Amino acid sequence: MIPTTREAPADAEMPSHIYLVRAGYIRRVGAGIYNYLPLAWRSLRKISQIVREEMDAAGASELLMPTLEPIELFAGTKRDVDYGDLLFRVEDRHGRLAALGPTHEEVITDLMAGALTSYKQFPLNLYQIQTKFRDEARPRAGLLRCREFIMKDAYSFHLDLDGDAGLNATYDKMYQAYTNIFRRCGLDFSAVEAEAGPIGGSASHEFMVNCVNGEDTILVCPASGYAANVEKAEIGEREWTWDHAATEPVKKHHTPNMPGIEGVAEHLGVTPAQMLKSIVMRTTGKDPRWVVAVVRGDHEVNEGKVRDAVGAPVELAPEAEARKAGFAIGYVSPRMIDRVELTMVVDPDAVNGSAWATGSDEKDHHDTGFNWQRDLSAAIDAGKVTVAGIRNAEAGDPSPRAAGSLLEARRGIEVGHIFKLGTKYSDAMGLSVLDKSQQKRSVIMGCYGIGVSRTLAACVEMSHDDHGIVMPPAIAPYHIHIVTIKPEEDGTLDRARALAAELAARGLDVLIDDRDERPGPKFKDADLVGIPVRLTVSPKSLAEGAAEFKLRADAGKGDLVPLSEVVDKAESAILERMMP
């Protein structure tokens, strides 16, 4: 059951999607739902096996939790609301609601609340490899963003941050285990600092497979090795001063239906970098306050950084309410600080300049010639304007870790993510134990995920050529692909089978193509499927007492190797390329 096709399916665009389908690894069932055919399943089992070995070696224990999670569990942490439409909901015959598990923090915290009885049991680290469900707004790219996918998730439990039994020690162990896992899989990856995200928590790292097609951007400092994702990446020190004398008068322009930076810049004859982007936000929770974040027109506001600068969580202001408060959404300028009670934070790069283009605080109008010192001196002198780094980092920004060094941008696919959760779930769900001194203490948690099925796709994304997939030996469905030519002649098929048996006796996984096909399709299929070593057995090669040996990663036709040596050669080729 390796249904290869000559043509790519109409819905596939990315190489991993195209090749996994064409090479007969997967077939689509519905949007974001796939059959894992035998080839894919073999690879997934190999990835899972590596994950198990490293997790077990790091002291974790495997268990299996249910897919179906009663909705009440989510209500405890309000994640039924936080997750929103991302949560798959099902209703049973009694009208009771349940969710198809997108992750299992609630289930395991609930489990632990009933099973953890003493501080003496710490630390604990439990994991499972399971099918997860997320009702993605837009599933895409084959196995990369599915509604149903295979994930390894682990949860650790502690009473302290430090010490042998503490969260930090387990977190570090998981970091090392993840490094081992992805190295053993043969992936080119980076571990980067990340925002904790809606799952909550304090510290986290993402493991990204490096490839040009990646969905995520990461920034790295070549000098210090610092690496972080866009949301998290810090920017080095930037010089700034309000002291820029005005060079132009403020002039108002009619800019009908142009709320976007690009269109306005073109209309005004300036570049986006000469404009100010003023984003209206507000603090979340009770008694929200208005916050206006100002960045240069070509930059993007980073919500997390605004939060840090303001000292409170913020969100994009709902448009209707902002309008009611007097903000001309799409045409806002920093001068709103004189008209509305608000907190203003300006990015350093939006300070340096003598004549900015900005909104006019009036629908369909923009100004040119805005000058901070001249036009906003009262607020600035009163100390009402904060300057802080509040934008996403970009390639070319100064490194936060090495003076003089510049950040570089790379693309990646997230395959692993580790978090320090803290007590968010244990507090919400009443997971606590008595410590040595009879004090009731909330349990501190960590959680650690790996997208198993996504790892397969990321691997193909990282490792393919114009002919198909180039599988790393450790997770290839088979190690050796024996292609028979004219299998019915001169006992060729029997000789190929004997060779396969010898290889299998060495513990190698062998796929033998004994189809009654012409050589062309067989070679094409072999390239497509991407097994690391190809051995071609034909009457011609057998006449010389040899088989043709070729690595998938190498070009050309390969070399004739005597049958007496080919088993050793194939075995060592595989072993050499398996990471310890």
State the residues that interact with RNA by CB under 7 A.
4-11, 13, 22, 30-32, 86, 103, 134, 136-141, 145, 151, 197-199, 215, 414-417, 449-451, 454, 467, 485-486, 518-521, 523-528, 536, 538, 540-541, 548, 550, 557-558
Rounded Cα distance, 419 and 204, in Å: 4
Cβ 196 vs Cβ 204: under 8 Å: yes
Cα–Cα distances in angstroms (integers) from residue 384 to residues 224, 295, 351, 378, in the given order: 36, 17, 14, 9
- Tell me the closest approach of the beta carbon of residue 330 to RNA, in angstroms: 15
**Smallest gap, in angstroms, from Cβ of residue 286 to RNA?**
22
Q: Which is nearer to RNA, 45 or 140 (CB)?
A: 140
| E strand intervals along 284-422 | 290-296, 314-316, 343-346, 356-359, 365-370, 385-387, 408-422
Q: Which residue in this structure is represented by tokens 């692993």?
A: 416
Tokens of 351: 């300070």
Beta-ladder partners of 396: none
Give the whole-angstrom CA distance, residue 465 versus residue 529. 11
Closer residue to RNA in complex, CB, 52/365: 52
In the complex with RNA, the residue whose CB is nearer, 159 or 230, is: 230
Q: Which is nearer to RNA, 80 or 548 (CB)?
A: 548
Comparing CA positions, the residue from 316, 314, 354 lying closest to residue 332 is 316
Residue nearer to RNA on the CB measure, 375 or 527: 527
> Minimum distance from CB of 45 to RNA (Å)?
18
Min CB(149)–RNA separation in Å:
7
Whether residue 473 is preceded by a cis peptide bond, meaning omega within 30 degrees of 0, is: no
Closest contact distance (angstroms) between CB of 109 and RNA is: 15
d(C-alpha 264, C-alpha 284), whole Å = 31
Instruction: State which amino acid sits at residue 303.
Output: E
* 402 CB neighbour count, 10 Å cutoff: 16
Question: Whose Cβ is closer to RNA: residue 335's or residue 424's?
Answer: 424
φ/ψ of 373, rounded to 5, equals -65, -45
Q: Measure Cα distances from 267 to 270, 356, 364 in Å.
A: 8, 15, 12
- What is the torsion angle, in degrees rounded to the nearest 10, for the CA atoms of residue 514, residue 520, residue 522 and residue 525? -170
Q: Residue 450 CB, nearest distance to RNA (Å)?
A: 6
Choose between 255 and 392: whose C-beta lies nearer to RNA.
392
Least distance from C-beta 465 to RNA, angstroms? Answer: 11
Q: Which residue's CB is nearer to RNA, number 313 or number 521?
A: 521
Identity of the residue, 58 or 546, whose beta carbon is nearer to RNA in the bound complex? 546
Closest CB to RNA among residues 58, 452? 452
Question: How far apart are CB 520 and RNA at their closest, in Å?
Answer: 3
Between CA 399 and CA 35, with CA 418 as vertex, the angle to 5 degrees is 115
- Decide: residue 28, CB within 10 A, 0-12 exposed, 13-18 middle, 19+ buried: middle
Query: What's the length of the chain?
Result: 580
List all residues 6 or more positions away from 209 whose beta carbon is below 8 Å from its beta carbon.
182, 187, 188, 189, 412, 413, 415, 455, 458, 459, 461, 462
Q: What is the 3-state secondary structure (H, E, C) of 214-282?
A: CCEEEEECCCCCCEEECCCCCCCCCCCCCCCCCCCCCEEEECCCCCCHHHHHHHHCCCHHHEEEEEEEE
Nearer to RNA, 229 or 399 (CB): 229
Q: Which CB, 433 or 452, lies closer to RNA? A: 452
| Least separation in angstroms between CB 196 and RNA | 9
Give whichever of 537 and 574 is closer to RNA, judged by the CB atom.
Answer: 537
Residue 374: CB minimum distance to RNA, A: 34
In whole angstroms, how close is the CB of 539 to RNA at the nearest point?
A: 8
What pairing do the DSSP bridges indicate for beta strands 480-484 and 533-537?
A: parallel
From the CB of 2, what's the least distance to RNA, in Å? 11
Minimum Å distance from CB 376 to RNA? 29
